[in-house]
Structure 1
Amino acid sequence: MTEKQFISTVKYVASTKPAFLLSEIAVYLDDQKTVDQMYASLLPHLADLGLAAKKIGEDYEVSRLLPSPAYCLNAAEEQRVSEYLELRTIPPALEEAIGQYITRKTGKDWSDPVILERLRRAIVAQKDDYWKPTNKRSLQYTKGYSVLGYLAYHFPVYFMQTRQLFAELARDGLLKREMTILDLGTGPGVIPLAVADFWTCLGTARATVFPVERSKEHIEAFTHLVKSVATKDSLVTIKPALEADITSPGDVMLPEHVDLMIFSNVLNELAGLPVAARADIVMKYADRLAPDGTILVVEPAEEATSTSLRVLSLVLKKRGLSIYAPCTFVWGTNCTSDRCWSFQTAPSIRPTRIMNTLAACDEPFRYVNTDIKYSYVMLRKDGKTRSPCHLPKGTNAMRLSRIHLNVGRRITVVAAKMSEDLGDNETHMFRLCDGSAEKPVYGVLPVFHITQSNRDLVSAPYGAVLELRNVLVRYNPVHDAYNVLVSRNTQINTTGNRAV
């Protein structure tokens, strides 16, 4: 019997009874397999089949897995989330735990001048490495002062931006009442700690987080931070970090049915791997994703890294995953992503005490990291999208792939707003994409042309789909891009996007 036939047999038996033992399948098989062999064959398909398996003595019990219902925010929770996002500092207990860990690791108080100077050198070295060409970066952050520098400089911003992403997931109804979260490449625990922090906004939702990390130094920092801030009555259970390389996890016991899978600031560090190999890594873990689960990939907003994420997301789309957000493919086509530099921003955080102390030197700007800018993609198996766009038949909207034929003309376009404001005090400018453009397209709105009928270009959230009526097409030869000029006579409407 082939593997396909074996899986079909399991699927049939599962449809006839809510639970069964794998040994019961043996009577249907032409060739004899042990229950361990059958389990190994079934394991990659459990999530897709909506099944769970657990060992019972020498056998395995397979049962239907009832999906946990979506967690919808009530009015009180929405208010708590809004107030939570206004906070611009990491929790005091977490900031204190970072300082304590640096002190413990170095044997001197973190504010000792010698320790501060070593931290400064580590931060500068990391930043210099970050700005190298992609194929020449090392970006390890895995040993000694590189880990301590990461905690002092990068950790607070990554923690705070994760708050923003969880708020989007919550408001989109992508969280569940009971969740299993897999954090691949957890580092010192940014994601698990952010989960525990954000879930305080939720009344009854529960989550179990499984972190995976290859660096012993990061796992040590992770363990210290989690123990320092964990509370007994938390709605979130953070499992001990599993020591494994996400490119080759070996036989570590990962959860079989994952509701949220996160790759945060990790895939870009695999600079030696081509995009197809990075897609292979994501797809390998996607086998464990629940049918209604979400994969979140987050990367820094730096141009090469951000653009590379868009390329990766299209490769994953071709591999069978659907892009939930932020991209919308208005015409059902794929865009040309090699020039797609698209990222989101959020209000800057306040510098931590450690940052301020590090900045008490001749070059303070080097050691204060407060800007939140990030690129992300949310992927699904079920085809669900944040902003479904169904153009009426016979619409007169122009595909952006044909914009070069309409220079000097006024047209109507339907496209997603794929950047924050790239303009200045006199002119607003936003990246636009409908999934068909071959060259970058920007919506340009001079301040003196803002009216009630066109201000949605400015006020609509990142990723919102807009209809822009009566815009003038111009070509920008300096940047080899196109501008659609918005005037007082332009009508702009959103197309049913959720509020953020």
Structure 2
Amino acid sequence: MIDRDAVRSNAKYLRNVRPIDPEEICEYIEGTPHPAVVRETLREEAFDLGLVERDDGTFVPVEDEPVPYRDWSPTEFPEAYAFAFEDLLIERYGVNWHRDESGDRLREVIRRLKEDYYYQNEVAYDEEAALGYGIYHLPDYYAAVGYVLDDLAERGLLPRVLRVLDVGAGTGGPALGLHDYLPENSLVEYHAVEPSASADVLESMLSETRSNFKTTVHRETAETFDPASVLPDGEGFDLVCFANVLSELDDPTSVAERYLDYVADDGSFVGIAPADLNTSMGLREVERALAPADGDVTVYAPTLRLWPGHAPSDHGWSFDRGEDIVAPSFQRRLDEAGEATEDRDPGDGTFTNETVQFSSVVLRHDGERRVDVTASGERYAKMAEMERHVTNRIDLLAVKLSHDLTEHDGANPLFKVSDGSESVEHYAVLTKRDSLNEWLARADYGDVLAFENVLALWNDDEGAYNLVVDGESVVDRVA
């Protein structure tokens, strides 16, 4: 057995002198262990030592700078991951996995999963369900997580040395997205909690990650796993992620609240959910329970509270859209095979999933917010008091929380907006676009906008307030 203390002490001595070469260190250790053994020991100790492995096999100190902003917008699922996943399908079913009985079963699995999600049925993942889930969701879940990480990276709040806990990691989409978002010289200790057969797929996909992305899969439920079991005393996780799993828990709020306690003081709790009504609103319910108006947990993004002491209580359905991601080869193969039925023709896109839509929240303990903007009653109207402003023109601050929601050509563009105080939905309607108000249409999801001279109306049909932005209105992007 190698003397780990000797390896560590040599690494600490050399780290600020020159790159640490296992072939050199082995000469200084009793018994002269093989360089490969020293290299593996350094990999295992790298996170605690703050060392990253280079392509030439030497180790150097990790940079102090945080992860840079990426402006993440992938349009393809990386080919290496697509091949690795399809290898699992071939291993299970053979090279013609997408045809005949196996293809029919996988298509039926995906139909059933989509239906169960829609009707909020309990979902069980055996091996076949895990593969079907991966076929349909690996690419879009891979893409979605990077958009959320962008919000942290733009403020320098994503450290290059990162301890991660991914709860309900599934088949690995968010993990692979995180891996590819981070620079190659980052240093990651990644823990996944996944009790189902999806863990087999996850472990295979994680084998594609680089050596500085150290992974461990815990095959336990979110309810039974003890986060403290993998943490040094007094430390927390830099990132705790619940991606597309909260809706599958019996008591998502209590589970999420327990894990929130293990987020480092300067770390982030990230929740991501599919964009459909039920799962999105479920995420908002958890968010609001974990970050009450008078609590010490802050909503970092995207649903900022612009009025101190207030929290929203509307339905909260809001979601972002990323760039479409081209269906990888394994989706196309499954979609193009099989017989025509009453509800599908081969190749009609039923089993491809190119749309990236998701709801998200980032919570923090340190009071940081993506945009440090606070509304003042001396200057702006408050959505909580919108009833008294109906038929008046007003000024207000609001976060843009949707892309254009209209479904018909020629309709006035419609956007969900929020200031974090509202009890019913508010929508900004752009009836006449010009150079003074075009920021309403141009701004990104999550941007804070200042509205001047907008007309407040009550929409009885929708049970919501409309803020009419016309030729007399001005809209500016605050941040």
Check whether TM > 0.5: yes
The aligned counterpart of 2:220 is 244
Are the aligned partners of 1:99 and 1:110 in contact in 2 as well (CA < 8 Å)? no
Are the aligned partners of 1:408 and 1:474 in contact in 2 as well (CA < 8 Å)? yes
Give TM-score scaled by structure 2 length: 0.80
The aligned counterpart of 2:313 is 337
Change (3 A) 1:130 1:391: closer
The aligned counterpart of 1:432 is 417
User: Partners in 2 of 1:403 and 1:285 — Cα distance?
Assistant: 36
Residue identity matched to 1:242 = H
Change (3 A) 1:414 1:184: same
Are the aligned partners of 2:304 and 2:419 in contact in 1 as well (CA < 8 Å)? yes
Structure with a larger share of its residues in helix: 1
Are the aligned partners of 2:314 and 2:425 in contact in 1 as well (CA < 8 Å)? no
Give TM-score scaled by structure 1 length: 0.76
Are the aligned partners of 2:206 and 2:215 in contact in 1 as well (CA < 8 Å)? no
Change (3 A) 1:365 1:158: same
Give secondary structure in 2 for the equivalent of 1:241: strand
1:224 matches 2:200:
no
Larger mean CA deviation between 91-100 and 401-410 belongs to 401-410
The aligned counterpart of 1:114 is 101
1:176-197 CA deviation, whole Å, 9 max, x = no partner?
Answer: 1211111111112223222222
1:362-404 CA deviation, whole Å, 9 max, x = no partner?
Answer: 3133211111110011000111111222335722x11112222
Give secondary structure in 2 for the equivalent of 1:339: coil
Q: CA deviation at 1:163?
A: 2.5
Change (3 A) 1:444 1:70: farther
Residue identity matched to 2:223 = T
Q: CA deviation at 1:286?
A: 2.4
Change (3 A) 1:357 1:203: closer
Match of 2:269 among 265, 283, 295: 295
The aligned counterpart of 2:42 is none
The aligned counterpart of 1:346 is 322
Q: Structure 1, unaligned stretches of length 5 or more?
A: 1-52, 54-67
The aligned counterpart of 1:208 is 189
Give secondary structure in 2 for the equivalent of 1:168: helix
Give secondary structure in 1 for the equivalent of 2:216: coil
1:101 matches 2:88:
yes
Match of 2:78 among 72, 91, 96: 91
Give secondary structure in 1 for the equivalent of 2:242: strand
1:134-173 CA deviation, whole Å, 9 max, x = no partner?
Answer: 3xx1123x20211110111111111111222223322232
User: Partners in 2 of 1:224 and 1:206 — Cα distance?
Assistant: 20
1:459 matches 2:451:
no
Give the 5 Å matches for 1:294-373.
Answer: 294-318=268-292, 320-360=296-336, 361=338, 362=340, 363=344, 364-373=348-357
User: Partners in 2 of 1:480 and 1:241 — Cα distance?
Assistant: 46
Residue identity matched to 1:432 = V
Are the aligned partners of 1:70 and 1:174 in contact in 2 as well (CA < 8 Å)? no
Q: Structure 2, unaligned stretches of length 5 or more?
A: 1-47, 49-62
The aligned counterpart of 1:123 is 110
Q: Percent of pairs identical after alignment?
A: 26
Aligned-residue Cα RMSD (Å) equals 2.4
Are the aligned partners of 2:239 and 2:270 in contact in 1 as well (CA < 8 Å)? yes
Match of 2:372 among 388, 399, 419: 388
Q: CA deviation at 1:310?
A: 1.1
1:378 matches 2:354:
no
Q: CA deviation at 1:298?
A: 0.5
Are the aligned partners of 2:142 and 2:175 in contact in 1 as well (CA < 8 Å)? no
Are the aligned partners of 2:307 and 2:420 in contact in 1 as well (CA < 8 Å)? yes
Change (3 A) 1:69 1:342: farther
